[in-house]
Amino acid sequence: MLTQSHRYRDIERAAVYLQPEKCVPPPVRDSMDKVWFIKDGCGIACAVVTWLLVFYAEFVVIFIMLLPSKDVIYSIVNGIVFNILAFMALASHFRAMITDPGAVPKGNATKEFIESLQLKPGQVVYKCPKCCSIKPDRAHHCSVCKRCIRKMDHHCPWVNNCVGENNQKFFVLFTMYIALISLHALIMVALHFLYCFEEDWTKCSSFSPPTTVILLILLCFEGLLFLIFTAVMFGTQVHSICTDETGIERLKKENPTWEKTSSWAGLKQAFGGDFSPGWFSPFSHSLYHQLPSDMEYAMAPDSNEYVTGRIVGHVEVIEVEHENE
Mean pLDDT for 44-65 is 96
Mean pLDDT of 37-62: 96
d(C-alpha 91, C-alpha 174), whole Å:
8
How crowded is residue 113: how many other Cβ atoms within 10 Å of its Cβ? 22
Note the pLDDT of residue 223. 97
Specify the DSSP class assigned to residue 200: -
Cα gap 104→132, rounded to integer Å:
10
Q: What is the rounded CA–CA span in Å between residue 97 and residue 43?
A: 10
Query: What pLDDT, in 10s, does the model give residues 218-242?
Result: 999 999 999 999 999 999 999 999 9
Task: Give the model confidence (pLDDT) of 255-300 as tens digits.
Answer: 777 788 899 999 999 998 899 999 999 998 776 654 444 333 333 3
> At 35, which amino acid appears?
V
- Flag whether the pTM goes above 0.85: no
Which pLDDT does position 198 carry in this prediction? 76
Mean pLDDT of the chain: 79
Please give the Cα distance from 284 to 40 (Å, whole number).
Answer: 27
Instruction: Report which of residues 316 and 175 the model is more confident about.
Output: 175
Residues 95 and 101: beta-carbon distance below 8 Å = no
Which of 312, 35, 58, 274 lies closest to 181 in space, CA to CA? 58
Give the model's confidence band at 22: pLDDT under 50 very low, under 70 low, under 90 confident, else very high.
low
- The three-state secondary structure class of 199 is coil
pLDDT tens-digit map of 178-206: 999 999 999 999 999 888 887 777 777 77
Confidence of residue 12 (pLDDT cuts 50, 70, 90): very low
Residue 307 reports pLDDT greater than 50: no
Residues of the chain with pLDDT > 90, as a percent, come to 50
Q: Which of 120, 143, 145 is nearest to 314 (CA)?
A: 120
Instruction: Please say if 156 is a catalytic residue.
Output: yes
Collapsed DSSP state (helix, strand, coil) of residue 170: helix
- From 156, 162, 196, 204, active-site residue: 156
d(CA 29, CA 266): 31
Asked if pLDDT for residue 25 goes beyond 70, the answer is no
Cα–chain center distance at 60: 29
